[in-house]
Structure 1
């Protein structure tokens, strides 16, 4: 996923500082490339496509290509079947990944993921840095993921926004109205009330983060907003590609909405974020660099911990609609007001 690929890119910056002459390559899903494009710490990209995802023969061919490159070290961040297979068939002497009982035999070094963060970086960062301990020891510096936009991309986005009558003297908010999937998407009617509150408190201009194929769902949220709020929403101002979305977001005061790749992208560009977590997602893992001011998030467990009891996140995921229903806008408004006032 986009957030995973962006967050894992910090490993390259750490390695480059220690080994400036090393060849550092990144094997990623094709659609995630935009978030690591122009990263100065990565030499080459190897793409995992739909073909490898659906064909064991294609996966085997990719694994053979990786083996031919004769890597000294392979770091498997994701540790899924496909990456297990690629690592197993490689000729690397040092193979590093997270510990799983059924795949640990493949690797020379594994680590057990922590479940409580030690720093403001959060578990997504801290656990990834554990992957470097066999190479760099346990004193790896905390690094924040970064997006590398070109000046041309940023200038083009500003020109586009100017053409679309954006007033840069007024607040501009990007709203992540949709999650990456239904069970990570705050209910439409609830999201509309959140947007109403943003407009009421700030009088700001509102952009929606969606792609053309999601227009139907974004339109539903638009229509659920009050008529006054709708006057502040520039519905047809959106990025037609991931790079365009990033360049537009670079000009926003903040990104507000569902937890996911868009939030991680905004943080990587030093844009303020207010994040609404899905009830079944671990906040401790993905509330990276949250300081309560520039970056603030809220989880149902923060306001209604009694709903969780001894249930696991997997159990909650199965009943996510009921938990989302309990996560009313009224439970979020106080935190949102605090964020907006900052």
Structure 2
């Protein structure tokens, strides 16, 4: 059995879809399992024991000549099954061109002719894994006899990566016995980023109540925005922010996060990665992102999320989903930290 999974999207999506490989490997221990992703998402897949080969799709591959060549390479692999989680026209063409006898994807009118099995994205979650996990596992029905109800995404770090991160933290002056929090400072876009002034208020609150130390999740080109949050914090909080200690690449960030007591901040890839490292998370959802779709493994203790809809559901009766996305910044400005202050402090209490 030779199977290709396609997930050409963001890091969180790629990590979430990686659960399919564990389920496939459990039933087909000798299968050859390949994963087609964008190259920049590969770090979350390194050392994954269930994946045999990672294929990359990049901007050049989208060009007609390169795409034709790419399709020929896919065809040569002679896959028995293709699971197209991405479910876009390009991935549907790849699926069809593979000539696999089983081609699975989500139901869309314009990709329907390319696949043999189709599943709706709409699902009522049966477990706290959430619909993002369950709807992916459901795609395995044409291939597996025994489909697990849930599988948690996992990230695999080496001991060397973790020890290097620990040494880096120690050399920066971070005290091992004190609370260490990774802060997801930025969302994937401006409209998905919690207002800086509110995030600074949250950090001031935590610093006033605990002896927490803070790391910021950002990359060098985002340093200016990270500094804006830092400068909005009061002097007491600033002393506890280790701005120079950050992951210079994704694997470094993962290793640093693995030593943190929790991750707090903007919902997105960083939250999904922390969960895959078994690091507790407190996620703040953008108004335009339905919490019910991405609140994976919520349990009210180690994984918690908040959304303005939790406090002002009437706002979402007034606007369509499209209008909510357009008004995301406006709605975010209404989402004051005081709404979830108590929930946040209760979340960090066990880790002090």
Query: Where on the TM-score scale, by shorter chain, does this alignment land: which range?
Result: over 0.9
Counterpart position of 1:176: 184
Which residue of 121, 134, 140 corresponds with 1:113? 121
Q: Hey, what's the Cα distance between the residues in 1 that align with 2:206 and 2:159? A: 30
Counterpart position of 1:266: 274
Structure 1 runs of 4+ with >4 Å offset: none
Q: Hey, what's the Cα distance between the residues in 2 that align with 1:190 and 1:59? A: 45
Q: Hey, what's the Cα distance between the residues in 2 that align with 1:52 and 1:332? A: 45
The Cα shift of 1:328 comes to 1.2
Matched, 1:79 2:87: yes
SS of 2:259 mapped into structure 1: coil
Q: Hey, what's the Cα distance between the residues in 2 that align with 1:294 and 1:201? A: 19
RMSD: 1.1
Q: Hey, what's the Cα distance between the residues in 1 that align with 2:229 and 2:321? A: 27
Q: Hey, what's the Cα distance between the residues in 1 that align with 2:186 and 2:104? A: 35
TM-score by length of 1: 0.97
SS of 1:129 mapped into structure 2: helix
Q: Hey, what's the Cα distance between the residues in 1 that align with 2:197 and 2:52? A: 45
Q: Hey, what's the Cα distance between the residues in 2 that align with 1:57 and 1:185? A: 38
Q: Hey, what's the Cα distance between the residues in 2 that align with 1:114 and 1:200? A: 43
Matched, 1:251 2:250: no
Q: Hey, what's the Cα distance between the residues in 1 that align with 2:311 and 2:11? A: 28
User: Unaligned 5+ residue runs, structure 1?
Assistant: none
Q: Hey, what's the Cα distance between the residues in 2 that align with 1:156 and 1:316? A: 43
Which residue of 80, 91, 99 corresponds with 2:107? 99
Render the CA deviation track for 1:259-280: whole Å, top value 9, x for unaligned: 0000000000000000000001
The Cα shift of 1:138 comes to 6.6
For these two proteins, the number of residue pairs brought into alignment is: 341
TM-score by length of 2: 0.95
Matched, 1:193 2:201: yes
The Cα shift of 1:63 comes to 1.6
My pick for the range that moved more, 138-147 or 218-227, is 138-147
Matched, 1:126 2:122: no
CA contact (8 A) 2:181 2:261 kept: yes
Counterpart position of 2:4: none
CA contact (8 A) 1:130 1:138 kept: no
Q: Hey, what's the Cα distance between the residues in 1 that align with 2:194 and 2:123? A: 25
Matched, 1:281 2:278: no
User: Unaligned 5+ residue runs, structure 2?
Assistant: 1-9
My pick for the range that moved more, 215-224 or 108-117, is 108-117
CA contact (8 A) 2:137 2:147 kept: no
Counterpart position of 2:53: 44
Q: Hey, what's the Cα distance between the residues in 2 that align with 1:163 and 1:338? A: 31
Render the CA deviation track for 1:25-44: whole Å, top value 9, x for unaligned: 00000000000111000000
Which residue of 11, 17, 20 corresponds with 1:2? 11
Matched, 1:142 2:153: no
